[in-house]
Amino acid sequence: MRKKTQRGGFTLLEVMIAVMILSVVIMALLQMYANGAHIFKTLGAKREINQYISLLSANKKYGLESDSFYLDALVDDFEISNNLRAELKNIKMEVVFEKTKNRRTVQEEKTNLDTGRVILKVENLQNRDAFKTSFLRLRINE
């Protein structure tokens, strides 16, 4: 009489199911990593745009009229390193100023209050990145 010997391995179907489950888990992890990388890149770009807005708002020459210029024009009066100046030459800014309708106009003897929305389009020519944001701007003419 011959005894059946039991095998201790896995069947082909069990191995295929395990591989499928692992591949689904790996794909989900890769998708989470890609989403996180995209979010961090977007946050970094928004941080840079906020820095550009602070430069722009401190400069009286730009931001109240529509204009297009390179970022190094904002820091002409500053002493900065040549490397930073060269990096800023690759960043093109387009400012679009839209005057908003004032619900209430403040006009005294010599004071005018103008409000407007500034749309800032930033394009890094070196990285081919482009971002857009907008903010409100207030001008008081005396």
Whether 129 is in a domain gets the answer yes
| Cα–Cα distance for residue pair 48/70, rounded to 1 Å | 15
Whether 113 is in a domain gets the answer yes
Whether 46 is in a domain gets the answer yes
pLDDT at res. 35:
92
Q: Is 134 helix (H, G, I), strand (E, B) or coil?
A: strand
**Which amino acid makes up residue 112?**
N
**Which amino acid makes up residue 9?**
G
Whether 122 is in a domain gets the answer yes
Query: How sure is the predictor about 27, in pLDDT bands with cuts at 50, 70 and 90?
Result: very high
DSSP of 74-117, one letter per residue?
Answer: GGTTS---HHHHHHHHTEEEEEEEEEPPPSS--B-SS-EEEEEE
Whether 1 is in a domain gets the answer no
Query: How sure is the predictor about 92, in pLDDT bands with cuts at 50, 70 and 90?
Result: confident
Query: Is the confidence at residue 21, as pLDDT, over 70?
Result: yes
Give the domain extent around 40: 13-141
Whether 108 is in a domain gets the answer yes
Q: How far is CA 42 from each of CA 27, 39, 91, 105, 129, rounded to the nearest angstrom?
A: 23, 5, 17, 38, 11
Among 40-44, 54-58, 102-106, 119-123, the range of highest mean pLDDT:
40-44
Whether 8 is in a domain gets the answer no
Whether 5 is in a domain gets the answer no
pLDDT tens digits, residue range 98-136? Answer: 777 665 555 555 666 777 777 778 887 777 777 787 777
Could you give the number of structural domains in the chain? 1
Query: Is the confidence at residue 8, as pLDDT, over 90?
Result: no
